[in-house]
Amino acid sequence: MKTGTYHRIRHLSIIFIIAAVLIVSGNLYAAANDGPFQGMSTGLDDQKAVELTVYNVNLGLVKDVRTLDLGVGVRELRFMDVASQIIPTSVYIRSLKEQGSLDILEQNYEYDLLHPSKLLDKYVGKHVKLYTMNPYTEREELVEARVLSSNGDPVFQIGSDITYGHPGRIIFPAVPDDLISKPTLVWLLENSLSSGQEVEASYLTDGINWKSDYVITLNERDDRAALSGWVTIENRSGTVYRKAKLKLVAGDVHRVQTRRELREEMMYAAREAAAEEQFKEDAFFEYHIYTLQRPSTIKNNQTKQISLVSAENIPVSKELVFHGSQHYYRNKYGSMTSNQKIGVFIEFENRKENNLGMPFPKGIVRVYKNDKEQSLQFIGEDTIDHTPKDEKVRIRLGDAFDVVGSRKQTSWEKIAFDTYEAAFEISLRNHKKEDVVVKVIEPVPGDWTMMSSSHPYKKDDAATAVFEIPVKKDEEVTVTYRVRMRF
């Protein structure tokens, strides 16, 4: 036998041996895995439990537990009823029954959802039926047509004629396999547990957010208040969370910004009845976590409110503040507003002895007070940041109506190349029926020394002088001072 012929025969023999091994291996693999792959689907009916953690950065963590009879082997699993705004790279699945009994061979997220335009796109080059109303018989007639284009107005071929703008209804024979009615996770799984599996799928999703809102009601003397706080949850994630274990995380969680917020303002559409201690609060990493002590269903496209905190008889202090500006001190006779507004503030301490002491998530505080007819009236609102326990909460309500002030510069001297002296006169007028105290805050720049003043002052910090000025009803008080500055 020639050498070339021998090598060709040897090469073919090796190929046949490899092919035989592959065929035998495939048969053994199919036998070990109960035959060919079998696909199955799971939806909310299989859901055993769901836990939802909502962050106040338009982010949610979903833990979806379902009971499934997968059978031993490799199969495709369609995990339906997930959030349409899911972050696919965050998905994690595990067996809660036996660790290591479930392996993920492949994962896909299918979001090519069923829609009339997409359905028409899938039938380009294929035949559909058109129903058209015959104006003479007033009956619908059926016409078979071939879809030539779906770009804008669909173009059809009916027999040998080409037409567009057809008024008839389009009838499709079936829904293509690659179009689905809802967002779906598709896994190729290998399961080694012969009994039923309990599977937990966890993932992050955009489109769900929460914020807190507070209502304060002042008493007649403005020295005590009642407070109620509400959590507002807005779900635009694309799925419902039935009887979910709900947790809220408050804090400045950092996220890589890859998309804009879908909404910035929340609407108030639903409210749940208040209950005592609905949320349990705990420290969590550098944040705080609030756990609702009962299950709650959060529907898609729903805004839900749940009571967060309630307290009575909180000691409150009210302040009237007349605030200056640094540019007054920068040159001779700087421009000033002749009649400046005096701000109205309330302040309280978030302490246990004040019937509070729970960390407040950031939010909007709205303040109300009863008028003389005991009708509750809105008097102002402000935002607060995340506030730990034992810290002060300060709220700006607006500007005083009957207490006004004015400021003017009465002197400006250059003492040296970097040293100046300025004198100011502040007039405070009280038209109310009771005495008030006005806090005058003067931000003074540079290295400064108070040369003289008509009233006592405090140096709150290196750049601020503060005067506490009592002003009796229907009277005017004038505050004067001279300051030397070096800068």
What is the residue extent of each domain of the chain?
A: 1-32, 40-112+180-205, 116-171, 208-317+352-392, 318-351+393-486
Residue 18 has a pLDDT of 38
Q: How far apart are CA 311 and CA 293, in angstroms?
A: 19
Residue 7 has a pLDDT of 46
pTM of the model: 0.69
Residue 39 has a pLDDT of 72
The torsion defined by the Cα of 137, 142, 148 and 153, in degrees rounded to 10, comes to 50
Alpha helices in 196-328, H assignment, sequence order:
none
Burial class (CB in 10 A: 0-12, 13-18, 19+), 230: buried
Lookup: tokens for 219: 């008493």
Output DSSP code: residue 151.
S
Max CA-CA distance within the chain?
128
Residues 200, 204, 208: CA angle, nearest 5 degrees: 120
CATH class belonging to 40-112+180-205: mainly beta
Residues 163, 173, 133: CA angle, nearest 5 degrees: 50
Residue 322 has a pLDDT of 94
Query: For the structural domain made of 318-351+393-486, what CATH number should be given?
Result: 2.60.40
Q: How far apart are CA 325 and CA 23, in angstroms?
A: 87
Residue 112 has a pLDDT of 59
User: Which residues on adjacent β-strands are paired with residue 416?
Assistant: 419
Pair 233, 304: CB distance under 8 Å: yes
Pair 209, 15: CB distance under 8 Å: no
Q: How far apart are CA 219 and CA 217, in angstroms?
A: 7
Residue 136 has a pLDDT of 74
Q: What is the pLDDT along the chain (487 residues), one digit of tens a residue?
A: 444 544 444 444 444 443 443 333 344 333 334 443 357 889 899 999 999 999 988 999 999 999 999 889 998 898 988 998 888 889 989 999 988 899 989 888 776 556 677 778 888 888 988 887 777 777 878 888 898 888 878 888 888 888 888 877 888 888 776 666 667 888 899 999 988 899 999 999 999 999 999 999 999 999 999 999 999 999 999 899 999 999 999 877 776 654 444 333 333 333 333 334 577 878 777 778 888 889 999 999 999 999 988 999 999 999 999 988 766 655 555 455 555 789 999 999 999 999 999 889 999 999 999 999 999 999 999 999 989 999 999 999 999 999 999 988 888 899 999 999 999 999 999 999 999 999 999 988 889 999 999 999 999 888 899 999 999 999 999 999 999 999 8
Residue 12 has a pLDDT of 44
The torsion defined by the Cα of 288, 291, 292 and 294, in degrees rounded to 10, comes to -170
